[in-house]
Amino acid sequence: MLKALFGNYAAVPSHRGWPRFEVDAGTWQAIGESLREGKLDLLGEWADEAAVHCALFEPASGQLNIASIVASAGRVPSLAVFHAPAMRLERTIADLFGLEVVGLPDRRPWLDHGRWATRAPLAVRPGPPDSPGPYRFLESDGPGLHQVPVGPVHAGIIEPGHFRFTASGETVIRLEERLGYTHKGIEALLKGKTIAEGVAIAARVSGDSTVAYSLAFARAVEQALDLAPPRRAIWLRAVMAELERIANHLGDIGAVCNDAAFSMMHAECGILREETLRGCAAAFGHRLMMDRIIPGGTAVDLAATGRDAILSLTQRLSQRFPELIELYDNTASLQDRTVGTGVVSAALAAEFAAGGFVGRASGRYFDARAALAYAPYDALAVKPALRNEGDVDARVWVRIHEVQASVEWLEAAVRALPAGPVLNPAVTAPVASVEATAIVEGFRGDVLAHLRIGPDLRIERCHLRDPSWFQWPLLEIAINGNIVADFPLCNKSFNCSYSGHDL
Amino acid sequence: MIRGWHTQLAQIVLVLLLAPLLSGVTRKIKSRLLRRRGTSVFQPYRDLLKLIRKEAVVAENSSWLFRTAPYIVFATTWLAAALVPTFATGLTFSAAADVIVIVALLGTARFFLALAGLDVGTSFGGIGSSREMMFASLAEPAMLLVVFTVALFAGSTQLSSISAHMTGPGVGLNISLALALIALIIVSIAENARVPVDNPATHLELTMVHEAMILEYSGRHLAVIEAAASMKLLLYVSLIACIFTPWGTTVAGSGAVAYAIGLGSYLLKLAAFGFMLVVFETAIAKMRVFRVPEFLSVALMLGLLGVILLFISRVPQ
Residues of A in contact with B202 (CB under 8 A): 261
Length of chain A, please?
503
Q: What is the pLDDT of residues A77-115, one digit of tens each?
A: 999 999 999 999 999 999 999 999 999 999 999 999 888
Task: Give the per-residue pLDDT at B315.
Answer: 59
- Whether A62 and A211 map to the same domain: the answer is no
Identify whether residues A98 and A201 lie together within a single domain. Answer: no
The reply to whether A92 falls in a domain is yes
Interchain pair B207, A485: CB under 8 A: yes
Q: Give the pLDDT confidence of A397-409 residue by residue, as tens digits.
A: 999 999 999 999 9
Indicate yes or no: CB of B286 within 8 angstroms of CB of A261: yes
**Would the CA dihedral through A222, A224, A227, A231 be positive or negative?**
positive
Domain endpoint, select from A77, A102, A127 = A102
Preceding omega of A376 cis (within 30 degrees of 0): yes
Tens digits of residue pLDDT in B209-267:
888 899 899 999 999 999 999 999 999 999 999 999 988 888 877 788 888 998 999 99
Beta carbons of B204 and A156 less than 8 Å apart: yes
In a domain, A118, yes or no: no
Q: What is the mean pLDDT of residues A115-124?
A: 89
The CATH number of whichever domain residue A232 belongs to comes to 1.10.645.10
B156-180 burial, b for 16+ CB within 10 Å, e for fewer? Answer: bbbbbbbbbbbeeeeeeeeebbebb
Question: pLDDT tens digits, residue range B294-304?
Answer: 999 999 999 99
Question: Same domain for A224 and A81?
Answer: no
CB-based contacts of B253, cutoff 8 Å, min separation 6? B1, B2, B3, B4, B7, B90
Q: What is the pLDDT at residue B21?
A: 96
**Which chain A residues are within 8 Å of B204, Cβ to Cβ?**
155-156, 259, 488
The pLDDT score that the predictor gives to residue B100 is 92
pLDDT of B1 reads: 43
Contact B204 A486 (CB under 8 A): no
A191 shares a domain with A65:
no
Residues contacting residue A377 through CB under 8 Å, at least 6 positions apart: A238, A369, A370
pLDDT computed for residue B256 by the predictor: 84
| A363 and A461 together in one domain | yes
Name which of A155, A157, A333 is nearest B284 (Cβ-Cβ). Answer: A333
Considering CB atoms only, which of A149, A261, A333 is closest to B199?
A261
Asked if residue A56 is part of any domain, the answer here is yes
Residues of B in contact with A149 (CB under 8 A): 123
What integer is the mean pLDDT of A197-209? 93
Instruction: Provide the sign of the torsion angle of the four alpha carbons A245, A246, A248, A249, taken in this order.
Output: positive
Q: How far is B35 from chain A (nearest CA, A)?
A: 7
| A336 and A232 within one domain | yes
Residue A230 CA: distances (Å) to CA of A60, A124, A355, A419 = 32, 39, 29, 10
Interface size A-B, in CB pairs within 8 Å, comes to: 81
Q: Nearest-CA distance from B134 to chain A in Å? A: 12
Is the domain of A194 the same as that of A49? Answer: no
Q: Would you list which residues of chain B are within 8 Å, Cβ to Cβ, of chain A?
A: 30, 33-36, 123-124, 126-127, 195-196, 199, 201-207, 215, 282-291
Residue A483 DSSP code? B
User: Between chains, do B285 and A483 touch, taking CB under 8 Å as contact?
Assistant: no
pLDDT tens digits along A441-500: 999 999 999 999 999 999 999 999 999 999 999 999 999 989 988 999 999 999 999 999
pLDDT, averaged across chain B? 90
More confident residue, B202 or A319: A319
A214 and A355 part of one domain? yes
Q: Specify the DSSP element, H or E, that contains A22.
A: strand A20-22
> What is the domain extent for residue A365?
187-467
List all residues 6 or more positions away from A472 whose beta carbon is below 8 Å from its beta carbon: A88, A177, A179, A494, A496, A501
Domain holding A47: CATH number?
3.30.460.80
More confident site: A1 or B57: B57
- By C-alpha distance, the chain A residue nearest B206 is A485
B36, B123, B204 member nearest A488 (Cβ): B204
To the nearest whole Å, the CA of B103 is away from the closest chain A CA by 28
Tally of CB atoms within 10 A around A1: 18
Which chain B residue is nearest to residue A339, measuring alpha carbons? B288
Q: How much is the pTM? A: 0.91
Please report the pLDDT score of residue A142 as a whole number: 86
How close is the nearest chain B Cα to the Cα of A447, in Å?
Answer: 29
Determine the 3-state secondary structure of A260 from DSSP: coil
Q: How many domains does chain A have?
A: 2
Asked if residue A349 belongs to a domain, the reply is yes
Q: Look at residue A396 and tell me whether its pLDDT is greater than 80.
A: yes
Asked, for residue A111, whether it belongs to a domain, the answer is: no
**Cα angle, residue B27 at apex, residues B187 and A393 outer, rounded to 5°:** 70
Is A283 inside any structural domain? yes
Question: Across chain A, what does the average pLDDT equal?
Answer: 92
Low-confidence ranges of chain B (pLDDT < 50): 1
Residue A497 resides in a domain: no
Q: Rounded to whole angstroms, how far apart are CA atoms A156 and A138?
A: 27
Same-domain pairing of A220 and A95: no
Nearest to A246 by CA among A205, A274, A204, A218: A274
Which chain B residues touch A488 with a CB distance below 8 Å?
A: 204, 206-207
Distance CA A358, CA A251 (A): 16
- Interface contact flag, B123 A146, Cβ < 8 Å: yes
The residue among A68, A87, A102 that closes a domain is A102
Does the residue A488 lie in any domain? no
Residue of A147, A175, A263 best to disrupt the B interface, most CBs of B under 10 A: A263
Q: What is the pLDDT of residues A217-235, one digit of tens each?
A: 999 999 999 999 999 999 9
Chain A residue numbers with beta carbons less than 8 Å from the beta carbon of B199 are 261
**Final residue of a domain: which of A86, A102, A118?**
A102
Close Cβ partners of A36 (under 8 Å, ≥ 6 residues apart): A82, A83
